[in-house]
Structure 1
């Protein structure tokens, strides 16, 4: 198969979808790998390393899309890429379709095959290609939240862990999945007073067992959220409904009950956000303020730590990339039900229910196109 790796062009996205080691694995199996020049530089991989691994370099993004049968990316295509994608071309990347009607319509129009990292799902309902970036984003959410609590950035001027004789900051995490767990580990490690809210008693029992004494659990519901946001300094939204738009659990009217300088970090922003007042921001302009509350909602948080993120992501995505290249996407998905669940849009049809429901589109059973 002919595989293309374009340079990411989303704002401050420094990750790359394939490392030189990954390119070598594909090349030794007889596949052709084309990498856009300087695509790996942001993650610390030189063009020379790719060439040594057997990949071929192409000068422009147009060249890569024009050559490849399968495109491997990190982030969803953005508008300048829409017209470069060909009918039947396989795109293997994060899409988060339910948060963008424009992206969904563009991929329906070009009749490409869109296999989304975030909806590849194992029988135990875990999301193996989302986990690595959820781990990074969860840890970063506490790190970024701690920074924006500093007065320099408009926060309350609080040190997350406090000092002897001074109470630590109070951190509220809504969602006890991978993001919430990693956020809690980081915040607790810095000495904060942490509460994780979730709707699953089973999950909260697990978290109660594994977390240190400065982490507590609480049932997530509207009444409890309204009470808790009033006296917490950092609030992290870590809610995920696979493939679907995140629910708004913190509403606009709740902001007025928060203390001035409270920091909100919405890690669910890729799926539309779980805080009503957030919208996607960039690493160039990561925050905005509403009602004296700081909102941080960067849509590609792991892009700020690209070396760590690229290595973590490609550890998970490469085995499936090899399967897709070896067998073709149809055969690979027929043989691997987990990979089949990654198909979202195929040949102008929506084959993932959460995406169809988000925009009122016709849903087609994925087995009908395999």
Structure 2
């Protein structure tokens, strides 16, 4: 199979779909790989590294899309990239289609096979290709909150860990999944006063035992959220419904009860955000203010630490890339129900129920679609 990796084009996105080591595994398995020139240059993966691993360097994204049978990316394709996709191609990347009807329609129109990292599952019910970036995003959310709280950045002028004789900042994490757990761990490590909210009592018990009671745990409901954010210095939105739009758990009305210059970090922004007042921002302009509350809603938080993120992501994605290349995308998905769960769009139809429901569109079960088309 001929696998193509274009250079990412989102604002301040420096990650790349394959590392040189990943290319080497594919070429040694008998596959051909083309990489757009300078695709990994910003994070130290230069063209010569890819050539040494067996890849061919090409000059443009247009050539990658024109020649490759499978496109491997990191972020969702931008409109001009969607329009370059062909019906016989496979796209393997993050998609986050539920809050993005424009991208969804363009992918439908392409006729391509579109597999989303974020809905691939594993035998334990986890999301193995989302997890590494969730770990990074969770940890980065606390770094972002700490920086944004600085007075020079418009924040309250509060140090997360305080100092002897001065209380620590209060950090409230909404959601006890991978993002929330890593955010809480990072905030606790910096000395903050951390509370984590979740609707799963077994998960709250697990977190309590994991941290030996050093992190407060509370059952999440509207009243608890409103009460906890009222005296928080930073609030981390870390909720996830796989494939679906994130629920709006913090309303605009709730902002009125919060302290001025509190920081909201919405890690769920890729799925539409879990704060009613959230809108996607970039690393170039990461924050904005609504009713005196600072919002940090960068849609590619892990892109800020792009080398670490690329290595972590490709550790997880490469076995699936190899399977897709070895067997062809259709057979690989028919052989692996967990990879099949990643299929979001197939030959002009939606094959992820959460996406179809969010976009009020018809849904076909993925395995059924593979067998029928």
Same fold (TM over 0.5): yes
Instruction: Give the C-alpha shift of residue 212 in structure 1.
Output: 5.1
Corresponding position: 1:132 with 2:132:
yes
C-alpha distance after superposition, 1:247-302 (max 9, x if no partner): 00000101111000100000000001000001110000000001110000000000
Matching residue of 2:142: 142
C-alpha distance after superposition, 1:193-248 (max 9, x if no partner): 00000000000000001115441100000011111111000000000000000000
Instruction: Give the C-alpha shift of residue 367 in structure 1.
Output: 1.8
> Counterpart of 1:356 in 2: which secondary structure?
helix
1:183-262 alignment runs, 5 A limit: 183-211=183-211, 213-262=213-262
> Counterpart of 1:159 in 2: which secondary structure?
coil
1:151-190 alignment runs, 5 A limit: 151-190=151-190
| Cα pair 1:191 1:214 within 8 Å, conserved | no
Aligned-residue RMSD, C-alpha:
0.7
> Counterpart of 1:97 in 2: which secondary structure?
coil
Corresponding position: 1:308 with 2:311:
no
| Cα distance in structure 2, aligned partners of 1:138 and 1:334 | 33
1:1-370 alignment runs, 5 A limit: 1-211=1-211, 213-370=213-370
Instruction: Give the C-alpha shift of residue 122 in structure 1.
Output: 1.3
| Cα distance in structure 1, aligned partners of 2:9 and 2:297 | 19
**Structure 1: segments with no counterpart, 5+ residues:** none
| Cα distance in structure 1, aligned partners of 2:367 and 2:126 | 21
| Cα pair 1:108 1:349 within 8 Å, conserved | yes
Q: Which moved more, 1:147-156 or 1:204-213?
A: 204-213
TM (norm. structure 2) is: 0.98
> Counterpart of 2:171 in 1: which secondary structure?
strand
| Cα distance in structure 2, aligned partners of 1:239 and 1:45 | 33
| Cα distance in structure 2, aligned partners of 1:201 and 1:46 | 48
> Counterpart of 2:264 in 1: which secondary structure?
strand
| Cα pair 1:192 1:214 within 8 Å, conserved | no
TM (norm. structure 1) is: 0.99
| Cα pair 1:4 1:71 within 8 Å, conserved | yes
| Cα pair 1:156 1:261 within 8 Å, conserved | yes
| Cα distance in structure 2, aligned partners of 1:159 and 1:308 | 26
| Cα distance in structure 2, aligned partners of 1:259 and 1:250 | 14
